Amino acid sequence: MLIAVALATWGVSAFYTLRLNPQIVFFRHAHELKQAWARQLDATRTNKIVFCGDSSCATSVDAQRLLAQDGLPAVNFGMSADIGSKVLLAYAQKYLRPGDTLIVTMDPGLFAVPPRNESVGAQFSFAVGEPSFLRNTNGMDWVTALADLRPGGYHAFTLIGKIALRQPLYRYGLTELHPGGWQEDELHRPIYAWPGAWPELNPAMRQHLAVIRDACQARHIRMAYTLPWVYCPPELVALRRQTGAQFLLEVSEVIPVLKDPTLGIKTNLADFADTPFHPTPAVAAQRTDALAQFISMWQTWSRAELEAIARPRP
């Protein structure tokens, strides 16, 4: 009887997580728009650009604008950092074809930890019908993956609080999602800039990127990384430039890095919506236009250029 109750409880929890959880509902709707756009491009174009990353990617790249203004067929597969780098990278790879271009634009903080399966990543993978995103080199850990379908105490209490205070069940709305994958962020909330330097590239993450690079090369898929645009207080610009160059130097030893002279640094607080990584719609258009230029010219940082910034002369 206890086993039956436990299984029934898990079943109800999993049903809620995959079908009713406001965050997963939002992710699933975003996925459907991205998937439909990618299929449309594959049916009409010989190749496309696939953007991969967290919400800094989702809120920064307008694929419709890239196609309309620059003639670049692209799809934005950016989602949320909660999903984890491992699943985010696997998600974008799912929709690559030979001849495509993969642009990774992701919070460096996700590169500072080993690629691993996160509970939200498991929930997202099952919600979109792709549990294979969770597969490791030694196979699939079904016990952990299925256990991750429980919503958890933090989510439950947070949801109860939102209901009690009559707040939106999820901070973003479905109307913010656009064909092509762009998430239009018009929220205006206090932004607390992260005060530290950019982190170092985790060794396990370095190895994971190398595996993806080799797989892309085998399929004739071009790949590169670019730092997202992030708000930086003026007093931290020097630190961010130096440590940003150091971080890009490490990444460039594995995959090319697009040559963005800003190094992702933006000092105008008004350019961002509700987090230092989420640009306003107007700045997202600027970011999209800049990426169109970087990709069209395909200029990448050289080691010497990055070393000159990472270790400036006295």
Domain layout of the chain by residue ranges: 2-310
247 closest CA partner among 115, 116, 109 = 109
* Beta strands in 1-55, from DSSP E residues, in sequence order: 49-52
Alpha-carbon distance 265 to 227, whole Å?
Answer: 9
Return the DSSP state at 82: G
What's the start-to-end Cα distance of the chain, in Å? Answer: 73
Question: Residue 189: phi, psi to the nearest 5?
Answer: -130, 160
* Full strand arrangement of the beta sheet holding 222-225: 74-76, 49-52, 101-104, 222-225
Residue 223 β-bridge partners: 102
Average pLDDT value for residue range 195-224: 95
Reported as a pLDDT band with limits 50, 70 and 90, residue 312 is low
Residue pLDDT, tens place only, 126-168: 999 999 999 987 778 888 998 999 887 777 778 778 788 778 7
* Amino acid type, 93: Q
CATH classification code of 2-310: 3.40.50.1110
155: enclosing H helix or E strand? helix 153-164
Q: For residue 131, what are its two tokens?
A: 């549990």
Crossing angle of the two packed helices 85-93 and 203-218, in degrees rounded to 10:
0
Give residue 160's pLDDT.
77
64 closest CA partner among 40, 91, 88, 89 = 40
Average pLDDT value for residue range 218-230: 97
Give residue 199's pLDDT.
92
Mean pLDDT of the chain: 92
Residue pLDDT, tens place only, 98-129: 999 999 999 999 999 999 999 999 999 999 99
Nearby residues of 46 by Cβ (< 8 Å), 6 or more positions away: 99
Ranges 5-9, 212-216, 222-226: which has the least confidence: 5-9
Alpha-carbon distance 306 to 11, whole Å?
Answer: 52
* Beta strands in the chain, from DSSP E residues, in sequence order: 49-52, 74-76, 101-104, 222-225, 230-231, 265-266
* Amino acid type, 206: R
Alpha-carbon distance 307 to 72, whole Å?
Answer: 32
Give residue 313's pLDDT.
46
Residue pLDDT, tens place only, 185-202: 988 888 887 778 899 999
pLDDT at 43 over 70: yes
Alpha-carbon distance 152 to 170, whole Å?
Answer: 16
Give residue 186's pLDDT.
81
pTM beyond cutoff 0.85: yes
77 closest CA partner among 124, 119, 44 = 124
